[in-house]
Amino acid sequence: MPVKIGKVYLVGAGPGDPALITMKAVSCLQKADVVVYDQLVAGQILNYSRAEAEKVFVGKTVKMHFAEQDDINSLLVRKAKQGSIVVRLKGGDPFVFGRGGEEADFLQKNGVPFEIVPGITSAVAVPAYAGIPVTHRGISSSVAIVTGHEDPSKKGSSINWNGLATGADTLIFLMGMQNLPQIAKRLIECGRKPQTPVAVIKDGTLPVQVMTIGTLQNIAARVKKEGITAPAVIVVGGVVKLRERLSWYEKQPLFGKRVLITRAGPQSASFESLLYEHGAMPVLFPTIEIKPIIRNKKLEEAISRIKTYDWIIFTSVNGVEIFFQRLHKIGLDSRALAHAKIGVIGPATYKAMDSHGITPDFVPKIYTGHGLLAGLKGKKITGRKILLPRADIADDEITKGLVRLKAAVDEVALYRTVRPGYDRTELQDMLFRGKVDIVTFTSSSTVTNLVAGLSRKEISSIRSKIACIGPKTAQTALEAGLTVDVIAKKQTMEGLLEAMEEYFREEI
């Protein structure tokens, strides 16, 4: 029986900021069997694809091509004819200098179904993040997007330079850094005024975005002096002057700050998104790894008598997810908890419970163990039977507090937090050579695991600022020899972000 032909989605991933990907693109990634991606795609975007999906890198850089276009075309056809759903993921928009038209044409000729999913092009988005509108009433009513990859000095250019120079108010050159001197010279020769403003924006829409402003006459020299390299977008025209009033991205308190995330990989995504949204560059370096306890007799016994508990209290998202995984494995669901009141330690745990169809009965005003116990004092838990599913290394503050409130507590370890292996050289680069501005700790174990391989002298030499989610984590950091610069007033990721913003705002 012949294999049913799959389908290829030619998908634009946007200009760099992972939040600028479209909902349609995410939907395609979530169902893809194969993802063929290029150099300009932010790594975080690949996280939308399924873990089991095959991922094939075919990127191009200035110095190296990992795959020729003919090979990419053949790969798409081959994978689709094997029955796969294929996403061809491209930076920006697939039809704006992305060779999407060539790939679509090849697919059509080979009888492979395809669909185009437009993306936000860097030609518009990068200037926007720099505070430069490509059109503006009274300044620019036309815009041209031009490849800068073609050398303007060569004979037989496909670009009409005489018409281009004065034919559009705003000119956007993509992939033009190598030819910038020639581009500026040709535009002047063909009638554009030498004093025309020019902006060169490197790594646009990302927290490491940098920009050089000049004119056609001096922009090449300025770019060389400031060391601006590809990838960059070149904007030519009067709209460049508007950035003096409309600049917004660089004004965020965390703009350009490199923030080290030490929490477990799967849990870092929401914090990573928050950091991008506030102009910071996340640097992932998980110092803990969550390992469910597989043969967990104590948990199985607790679930077998689940109806005997008056309260079930969850202190982490991990606890919620692993508990429900085990519940589902034995054929039960949220209805098994219908008789019990549910307590959670904070909004993230609340949200995790809500995703399983349960609205918690109690969440404290202060998201700490102490806050949890203070709130439970008024809940008449004396004599009540409480199940407390949590990590194996969690301290006994909550357990002892519940016992003092004369509750009967069954504490059950659901998972272990272990220290993953990591590159010591990479860690030293980040901490001792200023590669990250601030290190974030979201639990005592993230602190303990980070410093485990460091000497006291090395710890005292750390140049990065230290931010902790709460006083308990901060205390662990202080005891380890770290200087704590930021402590969140509210023990949430949003609270940690706010505290960091406040710190850097005061530093300015």
pLDDT at 232 over 80: yes
Residue 376 is assigned to a structural domain of this protein: yes
How far apart (Å, rounded) are the C-alpha atoms in residues 476 and 471? 9
Task: Specify the pTM.
Answer: 0.82
Q: Please answer whether residues 432 and 404 qualify as being in contact, where contact means their C-beta atoms are separated by less than 8 angstroms.
A: no
With b for 16 or more beta-carbon neighbours within 10 A and e for fewer, the 153-192 pattern comes to: eeeeeeeebeebbeebbbbbbbbbbebbebbbbbbbebeb
Residue 1 is assigned to a structural domain of this protein: no
Q: Which of 120, 140, 156 is the last residue of a domain?
A: 120
- Same domain as 403, residue 338: yes
- Look up the CATH number of the domain holding residue 229: 3.30.950.10
135-171 pLDDT, tens digit each: 999 999 999 999 998 877 777 788 999 999 999 999 9
Quick one: pLDDT at residue 425? 80
* Residues taking part in catalysis: 38, 60, 175
Q: Please answer whether residues 75 and 153 qualify as being in contact, where contact means their C-beta atoms are separated by less than 8 angstroms.
A: no
- Same domain as 242, residue 141: yes
Higher pLDDT, 421 or 349: 349
46-75 pLDDT, tens digit each: 989 998 999 999 986 555 556 789 999 999
8-30 pLDDT, tens digit each: 999 999 999 999 999 999 999 99
- Same domain as 132, residue 103: no
- Same domain as 281, residue 224: no
- Same domain as 11, residue 111: yes
Q: Please answer whether residues 228 and 210 qualify as being in contact, where contact means their C-beta atoms are separated by less than 8 angstroms.
A: yes
DSSP output for 375-407:
HHGGG--TT-EEEEEEETT--SHHHHHHHHTT-
- Same domain as 129, residue 106: no
- Same domain as 155, residue 112: no
Confidence of residue 189 (pLDDT cuts 50, 70, 90): very high
pLDDT at 434 over 90: no
Nearest 10 degrees: CA dihedral of 282, 286, 292, 298? -110
Residue 2 is assigned to a structural domain of this protein: no
Residue 331 is assigned to a structural domain of this protein: yes
pLDDT at 309 over 90: yes
- Same domain as 136, residue 55: no
- Look up the CATH number of the domain holding residue 379: 3.40.50.10090
Identify any residues that bridge with 143 across adjacent strands, giving them in sequence order. Answer: 170
- Same domain as 244, residue 207: yes
Quick one: pLDDT at residue 508? 59
Residue 296 is assigned to a structural domain of this protein: no
Residue 334 is assigned to a structural domain of this protein: yes
Confidence of residue 250 (pLDDT cuts 50, 70, 90): very high
Confidence of residue 454 (pLDDT cuts 50, 70, 90): confident
75-120 pLDDT, tens digit each: 999 999 999 999 999 999 999 998 999 999 999 999 999 999 999 9
Q: Are strands 341-344 and 311-314 parallel, antiparallel or unpaired?
A: parallel
Nearest 10 degrees: CA dihedral of 478, 481, 483, 488? -30
319-340 pLDDT, tens digit each: 999 999 999 988 999 999 999 9
Confidence of residue 42 (pLDDT cuts 50, 70, 90): low
Residue 293 is assigned to a structural domain of this protein: no
Q: Which of 413, 431, 464 is the last residue of a domain?
A: 413
Quick one: pLDDT at residue 13? 95
Residues whose CB falls within 8 Å of the CB of residue 377, separated by 6 or more in sequence, listed in order = 405
Confidence of residue 1 (pLDDT cuts 50, 70, 90): low
371-392 pLDDT, tens digit each: 999 999 888 899 999 999 998 8
Q: Which of 120, 155, 174 is the last residue of a domain?
A: 120
Confidence of residue 182 (pLDDT cuts 50, 70, 90): very high
Instruction: Give the residue from 342, 360, 341 showing the smallest Cα distance to 350.
Output: 360
Count: domains in the chain: 4
% of the chain with per-residue pLDDT over 90: 74
* Average pLDDT for 455-482: 93
Quick one: pLDDT at residue 391? 87
Integer angstrom CA distances of residue 449 from 123, 259, 319: 43, 18, 20
- Same domain as 387, residue 428: no
Residue 332 is assigned to a structural domain of this protein: yes
Q: Average per-residue pLDDT in the chain?
A: 92
- Same domain as 425, residue 405: no
- Same domain as 432, residue 400: no
- Look up the CATH number of the domain holding residue 97: 3.40.1010.10
Q: Which domain holds residue 375?
A: 304-413
Confidence of residue 268 (pLDDT cuts 50, 70, 90): confident
